[in-house]
Amino acid sequence: MISIPVVLGERSYDVTVGAGARRALAAVLPAGVERVVVVARHGLDPDVDPGVDFEVVHLPDGEGAKSLETVEALCRGLSQRGVARSDALVAVGGGVVTDVVGFAASIYLRGISYVNIPTTLLAQIDAAVGGKTGVNLPEGKNLVGTFWQPAAVLCDTETLDTLPPREWSSGRGEMAKYAFIADDPKLAIGADLGDMTLEEQVAHCVAIKAAVVSADEREGDRRIVLNYGHTLGHALEAASLSSGATHDLRHGEAVAIGLVFAAHLARRLGRIDDARVALHRKVVAGFDLPTDLPDATSAAELVTYMVRDKKARHDLTFVLDSARGVEPVRGIDPDVVVATLTEMGARP
């Protein structure tokens, strides 16, 4: 097992990575927890034992479940079961489950404890770590949420054994992001992770995220780099959920395209050169991820979604590469964004 600390003072906790990590659940629950509600993805046997009385409930499957309606239904169920502040929630599933459960834990009775047991690669290296919770609105991704740290995160790599190929792709998209945002050169990764075991790959990415979160818990500035590739990525996801959508992208696939777009935009703004753009394409392609926009993509539609991004301050905000590294850049001219999208094949 590998243990990575997320250092946040009294809110600090450990992320445990390895085969069988979920078996440590009873040991990581906060002292005094009397009862647990295990919240799992629909159809998933959570296969956990918190060591106290517990009940299992299931959330609907898919991105559509990441909604205020789902949070309300979960909170009402907790109330009907008499869940108290001395109890805890355990989220078992992918990023939708950890986001919904974390959000519910943060607002139910004004805050109760929860533990994340992520079962997808994407959730293990990103969504379940760092305490950002959120759900979608029809207007965009993750527009409603809170910062609420878990008591612990257990990344059991055994749960990845049956992961479908596209879920692997989704996780690899976030791995590609980590290649560009590590401050410590020893933590930077490239396209080839062949020298690392799966456990080491997950722990490596978690260590990068933990360092960023420890430095900036509430996304004052530095933590925004974790959204590298996500401004366009979230817009592509939102567009795929709209009526008449012609493409279907998993989160990590959309982020992968977003990374390439961010490189093209940074080059257009004079922040990086052609070689750095080529490196972005090499890293993304090295994870067998898409590098091009879906056919029939509308630049105007994507800009509409990007303006609503939660990083924006009534402007277009992107995380972009430079000689100083990856950093947020605000107030980008929409015409420059449209020009970059059309350069990549989008229609105006």
Catalogue the active-site residues: 110, 132, 174, 209, 219, 223, 227, 230, 234, 251
Helices 274-286 and 165-181: crossing angle in degrees, nearest 10, is: 150
Distance set, CA 173 to CA 29, 51, 105, 134 (Å): 31, 36, 28, 20
Q: How far apart are CA 131 and CA 233, in angstroms?
A: 21
With CA atoms as reference, report the closest residue to 123 among 173, 80, 71.
173
Strand pairing partners for 133? 146
Q: How far apart are CA 69 and CA 75, in angstroms?
A: 10
What is the CB neighbour count within 10 angstroms for residue 257? 24
Distance set, CA 269 to CA 176, 246, 273, 312, 322 (Å): 22, 30, 10, 18, 10
Cβ within 8 Å of residue 296, ≥6 positions away: 246, 247, 347
Sequence letter at residue 331: G
With CA atoms as reference, report the closest residue to 223 among 103, 72, 326.
326
Q: How far apart are CA 346 and CA 348, in angstroms?
A: 6
Cβ within 8 Å of residue 49, ≥6 positions away: 23, 25, 26
H/E element, 40: strand 35-41
H/E element, 123: none
Half-sphere exposure of 154 (CA within 13 A, CB side): 26
Q: How far apart are CA 218 and CA 302, in angstroms?
A: 26
Q: How far apart are CA 220 and CA 137, in angstroms?
A: 23
